[in-house]
Amino acid sequence: MLDFAPTEEQEEIRKLAQSIALDHLRPHARKAEAERDSSTELRLTLAQTGLTTPFPEEYGGSGPLEAVTYTLIAEELAYGDPGLALNIIGSLMGPLTVWLAGSREQQERYLPPFGDPTSGYLQRGSLAFAERSGSYTLADVHLQARRTGEGYLLNGTKRDVVHGQRADLRVVLARLAESESAEGQLCAFVLHGVQEGLSIQDEEEKLGLQAAPSATYHFHQAQLPAEALLGEAGSSGAVRAATLYQILRAAIACGTARAAFEYCSAYARERIAFGRPIVSYQGIAFIIAEMAMKLDAARLLTWRAACSWDRGEADETLIYEAESAQHQAVKMAQAATTDAIQVMGGAGFMQDHPAEMWMRDAAAME
């Protein structure tokens, strides 16, 4: 039955995430941008909340992830800072993909380090999704995997891999093709024990989202062992992981837009021009009204995809809904952050305010 209210429990988790975002993310956003990473203290703080270990308790996690709940969390984190939110979620996608796509044996091997109560927060995961086009749509995943006698041979490029350079657990999305010409099934591989054929390049100068360090992978006849394939070829684990990433990226976009919307609203309420707060002019008020409306629209689209993910809808439905949400939310966030600067005028352009950073962050999302 149609319902648009989070449960009480979800509301509590959302509030917790919001307080973390306001107390620990927003104040450190500029520092994280300059240092191109989160601090160890922040990661420890987050680990203590249990928000960063949403996988089964038997592996030391705080309980399996629900997409709707985590969508609420992701929006709050991005409301604190989009770059740090992506830093956190990008890392999380490594163990989550193992949980969603891996065999029991693979889960037992790769998940416990992330759930370790004393050192888990130092672990970094990563999921390589985007390729040359930079887009996070599955139709643009072409990295080729071919079966050989001993395992798999990978050829192609991945970019924008959050934590790609320093991850303890690297997972990549690829197409397992039976022949050279066919576009194969979506699969996830763990890059473990890759001896040669893989070069990793730091992406140093980015337009935005610098707080989420990323790398490019080049595969040239890279040989992977047979156990590198997570789960079985053709199972929907890889699709569930990929669509989850898309849904959470949509939530990050919503959080970014909300940060910009609230920030410029507060500014427009205080700023006086011609004797009145500028928000009392329809020319400004309508821009902000439009922002609020389009943010709500994109958020609802994101929630719908998350609901379908939790219900375990068919792959085709999930892909359509997750990609729609991501596309619309990112587009909306780009417009909202740009308009926020416009509302603030010259001040919006200055680094004294975070609006210019959010506009660059939103532009870097797709």
Partner 1 sequence: MIDFTLSKAQQAARDYAHQVALEEMRPISLECDRTEEIPESFFWNMQRRYWGGAAAQARAYGQDEGVRQENLLSVISQEEMAWGDAALATAIPGPGLAAPPILSQGTPEQQARFLSIYMDGQLHWGALALTEPGIGSDVAGMSTTAVLDGDEWVINGHKHYITNGARADLIVTFATIDKRLGREGIRPFVVPKGTPGLIVGRIEKKMGLRASQTAELIFDNCRIPKENLLAGRGEKKAGFKAAMGTLDATRPMVGSLAVGIARAAYEAACEWLREELPAGYPPQKRRAWEEELKELGQEIEMARFLVWRAAWMADRRIPNSKEASMSKAYAGALVMKATATAVRITAPGEESERKLLIQKWFRDAKVFDIFEGTAQIQRLVIARRLFPTIDIP
Three-state DSSP class for residue 274: coil
283 binds partner 1 (CB under 8 A): no
Q: Pick the binder of partner 1 from 127, 301, 333, 357 (CB under 8 A).
A: 301
Q: Is 280 in the site for partner 1 (CB under 8 A)?
A: yes
Which one of residues 178, 202, 204, 290 is an interface residue with partner 1 (CB under 8 A)? Answer: 290
Distance separating alpha carbons of residues 14 and 20, to the nearest angstrom? 10
State which of positions 105-134 bind partner 1 (CB under 8 A): none
Q: Is 1 in the site for partner 1 (CB under 8 A)?
A: yes
Nearest distance in Å: CB 159, partner 1: 23
137 binds partner 1 (CB under 8 A): no
The alpha helices in 209-314, defined as continuous H runs, are: 237-270, 282-311
> Does 289 interact with partner 1 (rule: CB under 8 A)?
yes
Q: For residue 128, what is the enclosing H or E element?
A: strand 125-128
CA distance 125 to 261: 31
342 is a contact residue toward partner 1 (CB under 8 A): no
User: Which residues touch 14 (CB under 8 Å, ≥6 apart)?
Assistant: 6, 72, 73, 76
Q: Which stretch binds partner 1 (CB under 8 A): 154-162, 192-200, 207-215, 282-290?
A: 282-290
Query: Beta 169-177 vs 125-128: how paired, if at all?
Result: parallel
Nearest distance, CB of residue 110 and partner 1, angstroms: 31
269 scored as a contact of partner 1 (CB under 8 A): yes
Distance from C-alpha of 337 to C-alpha of 306, rounded to nearest angstrom: 24
**Contact range with partner 1 by CB under 8 A, out of 28-36, 127-135, 237-245, 285-293:** 285-293
Listed ranges 143-151, 162-170, 206-214, 281-289: which one lies at the site for partner 1 (CB under 8 A): 281-289
CA angle centred on 259, ends 254 and 262, rounded to 5° = 120
Q: What is the DSSP letter of 78?
A: H
Q: How far is the CB of 61 from partner 1 (least distance, A)?
A: 22
Residues 113-151 as b or e (16 or more Cβ within 10 Å = b): bbbbeeebbebbbbbbbbbeeebbbbeebbbbbbeeeeb
* Length, in residues, of the chain: 366
User: Is residue 328 a contact point for partner 1 (CB under 8 A)?
Assistant: yes
Residue 292 binds partner 1 (CB under 8 A): yes
Nearer to partner 1, 3 or 352 (CB): 3
Rg of the chain on CA atoms, in Å: 21
Nearer to partner 1 (CB atom), residue 35 or residue 286? 286
Residue 189 CB, nearest distance to partner 1 (Å)? 30
116 φ, ψ to 5°? -60, 125
Interaction residues for partner 1, span 54-83 (CB under 8 A): 68
Which span (4-12, 74-82, 186-194, 350-358) binds partner 1, by CB under 8 A?
4-12
* C-beta of 204 vs 290, nearer to partner 1: 290
CA 264, distance to chain mean position in Å, is 24
Rounded to a whole number of angstroms, the minimum distance from the CB of residue 145 to partner 1 is: 29
When binding is defined by CB under 8 A, the residue of 97, 246, 308, 334 that contacts partner 1 is 308
Nearest partner of 260 among 297, 291, 239, judged by Cα? 291
Round to whole Å and give the CA distance between 336 and 245.
22
| Cβ–Cβ < 8 Å for 234, 285 | no
Q: Is 324 in the site for partner 1 (CB under 8 A)?
A: yes
Contact flags string 225-264 toward partner 1, x per CB under 8 A: ----------------------------------------
293 CB burial (10 A radius; 0-12, 13-18, 19+)? exposed
Residue whose CB is less far from partner 1, 137 or 236: 137
User: What is the signed CA dihedral for 350, 354, 355, 360, rounded to 10 degrees?
Assistant: 90
List residues near partner 1 by CB under 8 A. Answer: 1-7, 10, 68, 265, 269, 277, 279-280, 282, 285-286, 288-290, 292-294, 296-298, 300-301, 303-304, 306-308, 311, 324, 327-328
